[in-house]
Amino acid sequence: MNPKENYLHEFFRIFFANKQWVKRVFLIFALIALVLPLMLKQSFDITAQVIVQSKKLSQGDATTSLNQENATFIPPSLADMETESNILRSPALIRQTISTLRDQGEYTPSPGILNKWVSEPLKMYITQPLREYVVNPLRDGLGLEVDPVRDTVLDTLTDEAIENLKIETLPGSNVISIVYSFGDPAQGTRFVAQLLQNYLSSRQDLQSIELPQTFYEQKKAQYQTRLDGLEGTRLGLLENIGSSDPKEEITFRLNAINTEEQALNLYQDRLLQSQRWLDYLKTSLAAANSSRFNDYTFPFTFTTTVDNIAFEDREIKQLGEQLTSQVSRYMNDLAIFQPSSEPMLLAREQIVRTRQQFLKVVNNRIQERTTDLAVVSSVINQKVERIAAFKERIHQLQETQSKLRQMDTEINALHAAFSTYAQRFAEASTARSLDNDLSNARVLSPPFEPTAAAFPKPMLIIVFGMFSGLLLAIALVYVREFFDHRFKHPAQITQQLDVPVLLVINEQSPDQVNPHRNWSLPSLVHWVRN
């Protein structure tokens, strides 16, 4: 190729040299682009949106009612959004939706591309008898498994709906977009609305267990019977122990035991002290009985101290002082009189009587202390028995309290189980299937009937069809020029044969003028031919 060749000149030379081919191919494609929007089946896009709200989870145990006070909210994850999308696009849900609308007579789509020559009733009347009376007997005779007779029309409609249904999660959000392409906007809108309703109902069925009312009433009667039995057993335990509140009585008994033990400790100290003093007094009395008559001292004053106040025994004090005075006077007189004299004998006899009287009173005081010691011992024994009785009562109350705790645990568990069951029953009721508080999905944008078809787009098809026809026409003439080896201009002779060109004779025939009126059909035909 000559490097000085003008490519633009070459392009226009080939283009105008084959202008008839370009015009014909372009007009064919322009005609197809004009007719194609009229032949293509219209399709309307019905859109809707579903928002998956924050998930509500209980913060209590498994038996706690799920409410605003004990719940927490977490955003849905990508896995949650994918699960919601899978529920929406599930074939079973779509099949159920189409079946419901067909039963209501609100879904009668026109035949699709695979079924445009066979209507729905004709297809059902042909395929089902053929399968029932020809295919199945043949398979039965060959020992093969017989195919069940199915509604093939419903299967076909389901497959077409799955192909025309586009469900995806909007990026970076918790919103699911639904786009359904269908030829009839009214039927498509009803399909999407029924699909959303079935979707919410299906989610509700997945979240809770829906049971009949009779089963709930049976469970309620069993709960009441069991609760009456437990409450009766609890009341019997309280009646047997004779207490209305064992815990409070145990506290009272423990306080009584504490008080009694403190008093018991005081009495035991008093008993020990009195026992020791009593032994000392008996020893001192025995020594006083065997001593001489002029031994007037006694090693105990019988003084009792109460609250740091000393109380003396006046009789003992008086007798002691009297005996001391008599012994002192006798000893003083003994230095003057003879021991055998009558005054001394009288004084000695008087000392003996006073001394015996003193010892008698001391003996009485010892007996009093012995009696008081016996009383203290009896009081100690009584308090020990009382404390033992308190402890025995506390033991009985603790056993009863343990049984009552078990009964309370069973009663609380029964209450919680029935409360959970009642909550689940309420959640699963049909009345709350669409506005349940636990449902975290809502219809953000309900479907509406579109007014303009989404496909085909006439202007877009015409523009792209004409542009494509022009490009294809140019490509065809270039291919035709590539395989045409004839000489088109003098430069080719010099280039290919290496001989000089001496003379070039141009064609002198003038261009034919279009004799027809502009923008008329004959004028267009003449333009295409020439």
What is the overall mean pLDDT for the chain? 76
Residue 102 pLDDT > 90: no
pLDDT for residue 61 = 45
Q: pLDDT at position 447, please?
A: 86
The answer on 313 and 250 residing in a single domain is yes
Asked whether residue 81 carries a pLDDT value surpassing 50, the answer given is: yes
pLDDT band at 379 (very low <50, low <70, confident <90, very high): very high
- Are 288 and 187 contained in the same domain? no
Number of domains in the chain: 3
Q: Which domain holds residue 392?
A: 240-426
pLDDT for the residue 211: 55
Asked whether residue 46 falls in the same domain as residue 128, the answer is: yes
129 vs 269, higher pLDDT: 269
Which long-range contacts (C-beta less than 8 Å, at least 24 apart) are formed by 37-42?
37/456, 37/457, 37/458, 37/461, 37/462, 40/455, 40/456, 41/110, 41/183, 42/183, 42/453, 42/455, 42/456
**pLDDT in the model for residue 375:** 92
Q: Which of 346, 326, 344 is nearest to 336 (CA)?
A: 344
Instruction: Say what percent of the chain tops pLDDT 90.
Output: 6
**Which of 393, 426, 459 finishes a domain?**
426
What pLDDT is recorded for position 434? 44
If one compares 130 and 65, the residue with the highest pLDDT of the two is 130
Looking at the structure, do residues 83 and 201 belong to the same domain, yes or no? yes
Tell me the backbone φ, ψ of residue 245, rounded to 5 degrees. Answer: -145, 90
Give the Cα-Cα-Cα angle 507, 14, 488 (nearest 5 degrees).
Answer: 45
The 10s digit of each residue's pLDDT in 281-318 is: 888 888 877 777 666 567 777 776 666 676 677 877 78
Residue 119: per-residue pLDDT: 45
Whether residue 141 is predicted with pLDDT greater than 90 in this model: the reply is: no
473: in domain = no
Amino acid at 120: E
C-alpha Rg value of the chain to the nearest Å = 62
The verdict on residue 259 lying in a domain is yes
- Candidate from 94-103, 337-346, 414-423, 425-434 with smallest mean pLDDT: 425-434
Q: Is the same domain home to 269 and 326?
A: yes
At residue 436, does pLDDT exceed 80?
no
Is 178 within a domain? yes
263 vs 215, higher pLDDT: 263
Give the highest mean pLDDT range of 37-51, 101-115, 375-389.
375-389
Do 86 and 155 lie in a common domain?
yes
| Higher pLDDT among residues 175 and 24, named by residue | 175
